[in-house]
Amino acid sequence: MNMIYKKIIKIIAFFMLLLLAASCSEDKYEFVYFSTKDGNPNLYITDSDTTFSKRITDNPNFVYSPSWHPDGNKVLFTHFTRTGSDLFVVDVNTLETIQLTTTPQKEISGSFSPDGSQIVFTSEMDTPSREIYIMNSDGTEIKRLTVNNVYEGSPSFSPDGESIIFTRQYINPDSTQNQNGELVLMEISTGKESRLTDTEEFEGLGVFSPDGGKIAFHRCFGTRCDIFVMNAEGSDETNLTKGIDDNRWPQWSPDGKYIAYTRVAGSNSEIWMMKFDGSEKRLIVSSTGRDETAVFKPN
């Protein structure tokens, strides 16, 4: 009887270990982020347990705004110089870097389409007030999507690739008359737009959840921001980081269970992670420099 009992205990323990391992692996993610921890501003890859850290850029200039290719092997980023900025892509395995844009004006904040065939980005190539453009992922066939005289930025695709969300700094008509940033949804094929927010604050960095049902974004109250989530059509807003901290740049995990974000304190910034409902907040990356703009690696 004792032998049978011991076998049963071993079998139960074995399956409990399997369940624990599955649970741990399920909630472990890799992401790319910006950091100045080594002196120069560069991009790094790590995981949610920070068991490793890999630098994928090596540049004395400023690099920012990373975006994963859906295959998980390449990262798009903005490379800033004293005279302008361009979009580059780096292979995270070989570290080979390719320049995609070469205009004398600024191109920034690029984001891959869900199938990796296109990139949406912001540029000053036609007007000093930044507009939204789209191009093939190799930098060819650039097409302007917005035509106006107001600032626009931080575009990203919907999960079906048919629409983009971005921030527009309205001047007129604006019910708050505040020249503040609002979130706008645009259907790419028709150019049809839907304004999703209308507040006295600045809304930016809108990103769709993987299932397309929710949008995470940050709303800034003067110099301090909070992370919000709302339905895809702009209803039912929820403040996930309500408090005294300055929280920015939300990004969804590939399974939609978590949101990574940046907590800013003076000249220092840290990367945090929380569940999609705002619970279980935890610090992920912190150094003596700036650590921010974490973007989860696709599955």
pLDDT, tens only, 41-70: 999 999 988 788 899 998 777 899 999 999
- Euclidean distance between CA atoms 47 and 97, whole angstroms: 22
What does DSSP say about strands 163-169 and 152-157: parallel, antiparallel, or unpaired?
antiparallel
Give the CATH number, domain containing residue 217: 2.120.10.30
Residue 46 domain-assigned (yes or no): yes
- The percentage of the chain sitting over the pLDDT mark of 70, rounded to a whole number, equals 88
The partner residues of 33 in beta bridges, in order of sequence, read: 44
Is the pTM higher than 0.95? The answer reads no
The span from the CA of 103 to the CA of 23, in Å, is 47
Q: Are 63 and 102 in contact (CB under 8 A)?
A: no
Residue where the block lists tokens 């650039």? 142
Torsion of Cα atoms, 241 then 246 then 249 then 254, to 10°:
-30
pLDDT in tens, the chain (299 residues): 555 555 555 555 444 444 444 444 457 899 999 999 988 899 999 998 878 889 999 877 789 999 999 999 999 999 998 788 999 999 999 999 999 999 888 999 999 999 999 999 999 998 888 899 999 999 999 999 999 888 899 999 999 999 999 999 876 555 554 558 999 999 999 999 999 999 888 999 999 999 999 999 999 988 899 999 999 999 999 999 998 789 999 999 999 999 999 999 878 899 999 999 999 999 999 998 899 999 999 98
Scored b (16 or more CB within 10 A) or e, 221-251 reads eeeebbbbbbebeeeebeebbeeeebbbbbb
- pLDDT per residue over 89-107, tens digit each? 999 999 999 999 998 889 9
In a domain, 83, yes or no: yes
Interior CA angle at 149 toward 146 and 154, to 5°? 50
Asked if residue 27 is part of any domain, the answer here is no
> What is the CA angle 174-251-120, rounded to 5?
65
Q: How many domains does the chain have?
A: 1
Domain-located, residue 63: yes
| In-domain check, residue 234 | yes
Assigned domain for 155 exists: yes
Range of the domain at 37: 32-296
Whether residue 6 is contained in a domain is answered as no
Give phi and psi for 6, each to the nearest 5. -65, -40
Residue in the block written with tokens 């490379």: 79
Please report whether residue 150 resides in a domain. Answer: yes
